[in-house]
Chain A
Amino acid sequence: MTSRLARFYDRLLSYRIVVLIATVLVTVLIGSGMGKLAFSNDYRDFFPADDENLLAFEQVQDTFVRTNNVFVAVRANDGNIFTPDGLTRLAGLTNALWSLPHVERVESLANHQFINAGQDTIAVTDMVTLENAMTAQQAAQFRQMSLAEVSVNGLLASDNAAMAGINILISDAGVTELGKAEFMAALTRLLAEIAGDDFTTHMTGSIVIDHGFDVAAQGDLEVLYAGMYLLVLILAGVLTRSVAATFGVLLLMTCSWMIALGGAAYLGVKLTAISVAAPTVLMTLSVAQAMHIVFGVQKAGRQFTDRRAAVASSMVRNTVPLCLVAASTGIGFLAIMWSEVPPLRDLGMILTFGLIALLVLSLTFLPAFLSFFSLGSARHMRRVDRQMIGLGRFVAGRTTALAVGFGALSLCALAALPLNRINDNFIEYFSAGHIIRTDAMAINADLTGVHHAYIRADAISGSVFDPGFLAELDEFGAWLETQPNVRHVTTYADTLKRLNMALNADDAAAYALPDTRTQAVELNLLHELSLPFGQSTESMLSFDRDAAKVTIVLDNLDSSDLLILEDAIQGWIDTNASTVAYGRPTGPMSMFAHIGQSNARALLWSTLLAFAAVSVLLMIALRSVKLGLISLIPNTLPALLAFGIWGMMDGQVGLAVSIVTVMTFGIVVDDTVFLMTRFREHMRPGDFRGTLIRTLRDTGRPVINTTIILVAGFSLLAFSSFRLNEGLGILTALVMALALACDLLLLPAVLRRALFGADTRPAPRAPAVPHAAE
C-alpha cells in the first residue's frame, strides 16, 4: 500500500504542471454553473411539497386573499393622534402608501369602513378624508367612535389614542428579494417624510422582518464573514509560518466551493438561508486537510532536502487517514441528505459534492501546488516538536486527574442540556438595539401584536351564512380572545354583528348575530355593495361562501409558545367543533415555528445516525471494535457539552443554531480519526506515555492549529448584530474547542484504560528524558 502510494505521488508530482492546469480547467468548467445559482426566499422551498403545514397555509392563501403584510404605526408624540393634524397626516400617508410598488390594499383609521346607521341609510364609509379636514371637535368625536369599535381598537388605534396603525397588504410579487427591497426603500422614504418632532413611526410585519433578515445576513456576509475568512488565512499563515501554506488553503477552499456550488447549480439546487452554510463548512474542512498535509511536508522537510520527496512523503503518510476522515464526514453529509427537509437535503448534497471535490483536490492539487515552495523553517519545526513533547508529558503525567476534572465539568454541562429548547423568536433574532426589534417591541407594547395566524373554518352546511356556523365561529373567536399571547381576533361573525346593529339604528342591544340565514345573506350583500377599492369580503370569506377565515393577531412570542397555543386551539376544536370544520392554524410565523422543529429534529437524528456509522467505519479501519466504540466519546461529547453550556447561556435552539452539528461534524471527526489512527500506529504495549507523546508529535500540531484557526474565526461571528449568526459563531467555536479539550484531556485516559489495561501505573511527574519512564 505504502509503496503503491509512493509510486502514485512520485508520478503525480512529476506531472505537477499538468495537475495544476487540470485543476484550473475542471474548477472553471464546473464552477461556471455558479452563474446560474439562484437564491430562494420562498418559504415554500423550506418544506416538502406534501407538508401539511405548507398545505394548510397554501389553502388559506388560495381560498382567501393572499396576505403578505407590513404594519406601520404612527405615534403622536403629544399622546393624541386624534387631532386634525394627526388625522390629516394619517390620511395623507394612507393615500401615499397606495401608490407604493406591489401594494394591494391599505387599511388605516383614515380609510377604515365605519358602518353607520342613518334614518333609512346604512353608510359604510371612511370618516377621514383629505378634502375635508376635521375640526378639533369632530376629531374628538371620531376618537370616541373609533375606540368603541372592536375592529379598530387594539388594531388600527391604540386604546390610549396615542398610536394609529396602518396595515399594508402586498402582492406575492412583492415577496421576492428584489420586490421586498424596492418596497422597503420606498416605504422608508415615505415614513421619513411624515416623521418629525410631532410624530414617530414604527414598522413591522412579515415583509419587514424578512427584509431585515436579508439585510442583516448580507451585512454579516460582507463584514463578519469576510473578516472571518481573513482571520482564518492570517492565522493559517502565522501558525504554519508559511505563505505558501496559506495560499494552499485559500485555493483549496475556493476550488471546492466553486465545484460544489457550480455542480449544485447545474442540478438546479436553489440556495436557501440554510444551504448558504455550505461554503463555511467546506472552509473548515479545507483548513483541516491542508493543516495535516502542510505539517507532514514541514516535518518531512527535516529528512528530505528535495521538496518533491518531502511532499510525497507527507502524502503517503496522510492519504489513508484523510480518506478515512472524508468517508466519515461524507456519511454525516449523506445522513443530512436523507432528511425530509428540502433545504437540508440540498445542504447535504452540496456538502457531499464539495467534500468529494475537496478530497480529490487535497490528494492531487495541493501536493502539486505545495511542491513548488519551501515550507517553513527547521527552527520552527524544532520548536513545534518540543511543544508537543511537553504537552504529551504533561497529559501522560496526570491522565486520571485531567480525565476526572474534565469528566466532572462535563457532567455539569450535560446536566444543563435539558435547559435547551427548540425555539425561535424571529424578532429577537435581531440584537436589542436593532431598529426592527425596537419597532416591533414598540408596536407590540402600545398598539397590537406583530404576528398573524390564520385558521380556515369550513361550514359543514356548505354556507357561511348558516346561523349554527356563525354562532360557533363567534364562540371560537371569543375563546381565542381569552388565550395568552392573543391580541386580537377577527372573524366574519364580528362584521355581521356590527352590520346588524347598524341595521337596527345602532342599538347596542342589536350587536348580535342575525337570526336567520336570509338575514345574514342580506347583511353580507349590503356590506359587499358598500366596500371601497381594494376591499372585498374575499379577505374573510371564500368566493363560494363555504368557508371563513379567522385572523389572529399575536404578541411577539416564541415559536414554542405558538406551538403551545396551536395545541390549545386543537384541543378546543376537538371538544367543540360541530358545525365548523377547522383547518390547522397557519401563517408565516407558524410555518417557521414548524420548520424550526422539523429541522432541529431532522438534524439531531441524522447526526446521531452519522456518528453511529462513523464508529462502525472506524471499527473496520482500525480493526478494533473497542476503538470504534471509544470514538463515540470524542465524537459526540463536544456537541453535547457545547449545547449544555448553551443551555446555561441562552438555551434557545433555533433554525440556525441547530446547524452547528453539521458545521462542526467534519472537524470533530477529523480530530478523532487522526488522533486515534496515529495512536494505534504508534502504540507499543506497556508504553502509554511514549505512545501518547509520539502521537502528539505526529499529529497534535495540525489538530491544534486547525482548532485555533477555526475557533478564532467563528468567534468573530459572535460580534454579529444578527443573533442567528452570533449563536452560530459561539456554538461552533465552543464545539471545536471542546473537541480538542476532549481529545487531549479525556481521550488519553480512556485509551489508556482500554488498551493498556491495569499494568500501566501513573507516570512519575516531570521526568527528565523522554521515553525514560515505563
Chain B
Amino acid sequence: MTYNRRTMLGLMGGTTLTAMLPTMACAQERGLDLSQQRYDRDRGWRDSVSVATMTLMVPGRGESVRQMSISALETDGDGDMSLTEFDLPRDLDGTKFLSHSFAVQPDDQWLYLPSSGQVRRISSRNKSGAFLGSEFTYEDLTSFKVGKYTYEYAREEAFADQPCHVIRQVPVYDHTGYSAVNVWLDTEHLRPLKAEFTNRAGVHFKTLTFTDYTLYQGQFWRAHTAAMANLTNGRETTMRFDQIAFGVGLDPSQFSPTRLG
C-alpha cells in the first residue's frame, strides 16, 4: 500500500498542509459516517439465496454465459459466508465454491471438485484476478465491510436522476487490484448506484453500475443487475440476480468445508 500512502502524503504536502487538514479530516469523517450508515442499514438479513447469471460480452465476438446459485449467511463477526454452486457452463455442474470472508484478513476459500470428490483449499491472497473470465474480480463480489477501506467524502452529484453522495474508498487490505474506488450512494437509501475503479497507475479503468433495485422484507435493497464495463478493452460483463429470497433458514453447518462433498 505504499502507493496510497505516497499519494496521501503528496496531497498533504507543502504549504496547504495546515489549511487542508481540517477539511480533510471533515471529509474523511463524513465519508466514514455515511459508509457506516450504509452498512448498518443492511444488517440483519440473516441468510439469502439467489441465482446469478453472468453474461460476458466481448465487442465483435458475441456473448458467453455463466450461471451459479448462491447461498449466503450473515455472521456476527466481521465477515459473511457464501456457497456458490455452478450450473453453467455445464462442464462446471456440481462444482461448489465456499468462502468465509473477512474485512481485512484474507478470506478462507475452498473448492469442491466432483470428479475426484476432493475439497481443495485455495489461497485467497489473490482476490483481484478475473472471476471466471469476466470483468468482475472476486474482490468486486465480496460483501461490503466498513473496515475494508478508508473513506473520504468527495462531493454531492446526481447519478441516474438521483442525488448521490460520492465517496472515495481506498482499500486497506493487501493484494487489491485498485488504488481507489469512487462510489455513488443515493442520498435517500445509501444504495450504491455506481462505482468507478482506479488501477495502480491511477487510471479509472472499470465502471460498475447497479440497476433494478427491489426492496426485500421492507428493509433490504438488492440490485438485480450489476454491469461492469472495462474501459480499456471495451468488454462488459453483466450479472443478473434472480429468485432472490431472504430468511430461508440456511443451516450454518452447510457452510463448513467438511460438509462440501
Contacts and interface: CB of A to CB of B under 8 A. Distances in A.
Interface string B117-132: 0111111011011111
A533 B121 contact: no
Q: How large is the interface on B (under 10, 10 to 19, 20 to 34, 35 or more residues)?
A: 35 or more
A66 B200 contact: no
B201 A521 contact: no
Interface in B210-244: 232-233, 235
Contacts of A65: 233
Interface stretch (A198-206, A302-310, A535-543, A573-581): A535-543
B69 interface: no
Nearest to B94: A518
A537 B129 CA distance: 9
Contact of B133 (A120, A465, A537): A537
A651 interface: no
Contact of B123 (A125, A516, A528): A125
B121 A120 contact: yes
A522 B115 contact: yes
A533 B128 contact: yes
Interface in B93-146: 95, 97, 109, 111, 113-116, 118-123, 125-126, 128-133, 137-138
Contacts of A62: 58-61
Nearest to B179: A99
B89 interface: yes
Contacts of B133: 528, 536-538, 541, 543, 545
Given A526-B120, A528-B130, A534 B91 contact: no
Given A62-B61, A66-B233, A518-B115, A529 B201 contact: no
B129 A533 contact: yes
A63 interface: yes
A124 interface: yes
Interface in A518-534: 518-519, 521-522, 525-526, 528-534
Contacts of B115: 516, 518-519, 522
A103 interface: yes
Contact of B97 (A517, A529, A536): A529
A98 to B, nearest CB: 4
B126 A124 contact: yes
B129 to A, nearest CB: 3
B3 interface: yes
Contacts of B202: 99
A24 to B, nearest CB: 48
B151 to A, nearest CB: 22
A536 B131 CA distance: 8
A637 B116 CA distance: 76
B126 A122 contact: no
Interface in B184-208: 200-203
Contact of A522 (B59, B95, B128, B137): B95
A34 interface: no
B1 to A, nearest CB: 10
B238 to A, nearest CB: 14
A525 B177 contact: no
Q: How large is the interface on A (under 10, 10 to 19, 20 to 34, 35 or more residues)?
A: 35 or more
B61 A529 contact: no
Interface string A285-303: 0000000000000000000
Contact of A533 (B62, B91, B176, B203): B176
A522 B113 CA distance: 6
B123 A121 contact: yes
A533 B201 contact: no
B111 A525 contact: yes
B12 interface: no
Which residue, of A65, A530, A538, has the highest number of chain B Cβ atoms within 10 A? Answer: A530
Contact of B201 (A102, A465, A518): A102
A121 B114 contact: no
A615 to B, nearest CB: 49
A532 B129 contact: yes
A734 interface: no
Interface string A102-146: 111000000001000010111111000000000000000000000
B254 interface: no
Nearest to A130: B2
B175 interface: yes
B78 to A, nearest CB: 22
Contacts of B109: 529
Contacts of A537: 130, 133
A100 B201 contact: yes
B64 A543 contact: yes
Nearest to B178: A533
B92 interface: yes
A532 B202 CA distance: 18
B164 interface: no
Interface string B44-56: 0000000000001
A42 interface: no
Nearest to A514: B115
Contacts of A544: 56, 61-62, 64
Given A101-B201, A529-B138, A125 B232 contact: no
Contacts of B129: 528-536
Interface string A475-515: 00000000000000000000000000001000000000000
Contacts of B175: 532-533
A179 to B, nearest CB: 12
A541 B115 CA distance: 22
17 contacts: A62-B60, A65-B233, A98-B200, A99-B202, A122-B120, A173-B232, A517-B91, A519-B116, A526-B122, A529-B109, A530-B126, A532-B128, A533-B126, A534-B129, A535-B130, A536-B133, A543-B133
Given A99-B3, A118-B121, A530-B122, 13 more contacts: A98-B200, A121-B120, A121-B121, A122-B123, A124-B126, A516-B115, A528-B133, A529-B138, A533-B129, A536-B133, A541-B133, A543-B58, A543-B235
Nearest 8 pairs between A and B by C-beta? Answer: A531-B129, A533-B177, A536-B130, A533-B128, A532-B126, A521-B91, A544-B64, A123-B123
